[in-house]
Amino acid sequence: MLVAAMLLRLGLLMVLPALLAAEWRAGAGRAITTPQEPVWMSGYGGRKAPSETAAMDLWAKALALEDPFGRRAVVVTTDLIGLSRPVADRIAARAHAEYGLSRERLLLTSSHTHTGPAITGNLPLMQAPKPEWRAATARYTRYLEDQAVAAIGRAIEALGPAELSYHLGEAGFAMNRRIVKDDGTIGFGEDPDAPVDNDVSVLRVRDAEGETLAVLFSYAAHNTTLTGKHMEIHGDYSGVAQALLEKEVGGQAMYMMGMGADANPSPRGEMEHVEENGRSMADAVRAALEKPGRAVEGPLRATFEHVEIRLENPPSRAEWERRAAGDDGWDGRLAELMLERLDRDGALASNYAYPIQVWKLGEATTLVAMGGEVVVDYSHAIKKALGEETTWTVGYANDVPGYIPSVRILDEGGYEAEFSQTYYGMPGRWHRSIERTILDAVLEIAR
């Protein structure tokens, strides 16, 4: 038995280097997701009417990867404000039924453009006020799901020999938007001394002829160059950057939003700023590709888990009734929603099953994808713990249930800590344990 075990171990040691050196396979696919009719737009609360027209097309894009051991995974990028859990679950269920993809091997992301369509379940208090507009949102949501699944299928069908490399670059147009006002409270603006994450992470995929098949990249700045006055469907700076990269580098360009929930692009506000920021983004990706990258070899490991994060104790029913009767704005609408949930469920949620997904691409990079609008503190903490040069952090993945603030931001207060929960239909603030719970889970999974 000892001899047999030694021979088996020797055989594995001899075979392993050959497997690690074997080729990867990859395939790219896409499907257009531009609305086919006027739709309610999401991201800004002051809009009063559906979209007017489309200034550029929106897409669901998929990149299928298969490591030398035959383990397959697919990443999907969408030009959307964010995915709701029911939508992500339906896409994942269909991908499993039709293509055999297990949940940990399907990564669903959104660009967080604020000039895209609303989808059912995301930002419930920003949904269309009229039934006919809500019906259009439901139609669009079904269309989006169909197109995302179609993109996944096309990427898998296109699988062929490929080489992968991970590159790290830098951009400079993210600006922390939290400022201290004269009265000591936190407001919106630009603080050049506050933290941002200027890393640009890039995965380049080449086909058997050495041509660029796909470029997957991310940056941590809100897709909010365009403001609420803009009523045309548009992918914002990430849409412009993807179009430029497909023209100048080739292949399929795909954008994932980083952990930049407290950062805006600068400058912003006008259409020329979209072109400027998109140009800056594309140039940063190209500059990263010009530097030597880390070859992706070895296995693709994937994990997907839900971690329970706590909410603070919600107000009493009497308090919700008082707020519903006394406020005809956002707070009153939130109170009405909470009363509906109390009538239906008997209680309000005290925690949330929060999604964390980790992919390890050989030794080249560890990709940490987290749900929600994740503030920059998490990115810095995760990279410090796992390695600055090899850790790739992404937010807005799989489910966007609200902002994910750090303890620092909870202590400071302001929109990301206090008021943003209203639009997401949450009964209150996150508990201070949120940061420690998430970071402990990420590090345990990654290690």
Based on the fold, state whether residues 265 and 333 are members of the same structural domain. no
> Does 6 score more than 90 pLDDT?
no
Does one domain contain both 48 and 127? yes
Q: Does one domain contain both 230 and 376?
A: yes
| pTM assigned to the model | 0.94
Q: What percentage of the chain has pLDDT greater than the value 70?
A: 95
In which band, very low, low, confident or very high, does the pLDDT at 414 lie, cut at 50, 70 and 90?
very high
Band (pLDDT 50/70/90 cuts) for residue 19 is very low
Residue listed under structure tokens 């202590």 = 411
d(CA 363, CA 25): 17
Q: Are residues 90 and 191 in the same domain?
A: yes
Examine residue 140 and state whether it is found in any structural domain, yes or no: yes
- pLDDT above 80 for 149: yes
Residues 323, 294: one domain? no
**And the tokens for 96?**
């499993």
Structural domain boundaries, residue 321: 314-345
Q: Is the pLDDT of residue 74 over 80?
A: yes
Residues 329 and 269 placed together within one structural domain of the fold: no
Residues 190 and 333 in one domain: no
Same domain? For 333 and 204 the reply is no
Is residue 192 a part of any domain in this protein?
yes
Q: Work out the pLDDT band at 100, boundaries 50, 70, 90.
A: very high
Name the β-bridge partners of 27: 64
Please provide residue 332's backbone torsions phi and psi, each rounded to the nearest 5 degrees: -65, -40
Would residue 14 count as lying in a domain? no
The verdict on 87 and 199 lying in the same domain is: yes
For residues 22 and 132, the model is more confident at: 132
Q: Give the C-alpha separation, 308 to 299, whole Å.
A: 29
Summarize pLDDT for 122-131 with one digit per residue, the tens: 999 999 999 9
CB 403 within 8 A of CB 375: yes
The answer to the question of residue 355 being in a domain is no
Q: Are residue 319 and residue 378 in the same domain, yes or no?
A: no
CA distance from start to end of the chain: 33
Please check whether residues 181 and 265 belong to one and the same domain: yes
Identity of residue 198: N
Average pLDDT over residues 362-384: 97
Q: What is the pLDDT of residues 227-236, one digit of tens each?
A: 999 999 999 9
Residue 273 has pLDDT above 70, yes or no: yes
Residues 6+ apart with CB under 8 A from 48: none
Q: Judge whether 16 lies within some domain.
A: no
Among 399, 424, 441, identify where a domain stops: 399
Look at residue 408 and tell me if it is in a domain: no
Place of tokens 């991310």: 218
The per-residue pLDDT for 4 is 53
Name the CA dihedral angle for 395, 333, 49, 415, rounded to a multiple of 10 degrees: -40
Residue 294 lies in a domain: yes
Please tell me the predicted confidence (pLDDT) of residue 329.
Answer: 86
